Amino acid sequence: MPSTKSKTKPKPSLELTFEAIGTQWSIELFGLDRMPDGLSEAIQQRIAVYDKNYSRFRDDSLVAEMSRTAGNYLLPDDAQPLFDLYHKLYELTDGAVTPLIGQVMVEAGYDASYSLQPKQLHQPPAWDEVLDYQYPNVHLKQPALLDVGAAGKGYLVDIVAGILEEFGATAYCVDAGGDMVCHGPQSLRVGLEHPDQPDEVIGIVELENHALCGSAGNRRKWANFHHIIDPKSLHSPVHLKAVWVLAESALLADGLATALFFVAPAKLMKHYTFSYVLVRADNSLEHSQPFPAEFFTGES
């Protein structure tokens, strides 16, 4: 899960805070005297629609229906960027980033009831064995529990940012549990949480007109697993403790933060523009050049 903290921002600002999709949200608006009428309601309604489509934790979602019944499905209007990114990352990571990881997560204990009680795990099928995807249609050759958690929260951050702009906001920061996008003339100083010491930071990022997403094995950790599981080894990666990605969209930053647990940055940089920070198992630090941050630990 993302691990950012300690935002330092200009004043004054208007703020909306709430909990949704299992995480805490903070939406800050700059340069406005009052909250736009209907903004909060529009955001809540849009998140509810998104959750109804993509959540694997509720029985009435589109994803839940796909897990029960094979056949043809018409995807939601917002699905193409999400599914296109998944398809590309699936290819670039040799199947490691896959929406078909859902049943593996359930077997590992990350299920709808959050039992955190692992059972026997089974490798998920390959994309072509299950999915025939041609937006806006997808054909499931067999029922499958999809999980879009590798990029889905970041995408929702982008969607909420789009709503802010529809309501006239030009300077804002959307933060969903550490996955964030900041837009406008102001910059935010964002701390990168130490993966072993949650009350400390390993560096400070200057975030301006970009998205920042992270993934760390110290969040949502249980038994021998965390929220990322390799579909081939059926183990959670342990060679990295934390990853952060800076990109133009939170969708891309979120997806790449997961992909970097499986492939080298250079491979992804042939296809996408982004900056990154990696914290290895020995706490050594690697980051792209340039990266808009001041670090307080060893770099490589």
Q: Is the peptide bond before 81 cis (omega within 30 degrees of 0)?
A: no
Model confidence, pTM: 0.93
Partners of 24 in beta bridges: 19
pLDDT of amino acid 222: 85
pLDDT of amino acid 300: 45
pLDDT of amino acid 13: 80
pLDDT of amino acid 11: 56
The helix or strand, by DSSP H or E, that contains position 39, with its residue range, turns out to be helix 39-54
Query: Could you tell me whether strands 23-30 and 172-176 are parallel, antiparallel, or unpaired per DSSP bridges?
Result: antiparallel
Residues of the chain with pLDDT under 50: 1-2, 6, 300
In 3D space, the residue among 253, 42, 251, 276 whose CA is nearest the CA of residue 158 turns out to be 251
Residue 158 and residue 243: Cα distance in Å, rounded?
A: 20
pLDDT of amino acid 297: 66
Partners of 277 in beta bridges: 244, 287
pLDDT of amino acid 191: 92
What's the order of all strands across the beta sheet hosting 201-207?
Answer: 4-8, 188-193, 201-207, 293-295
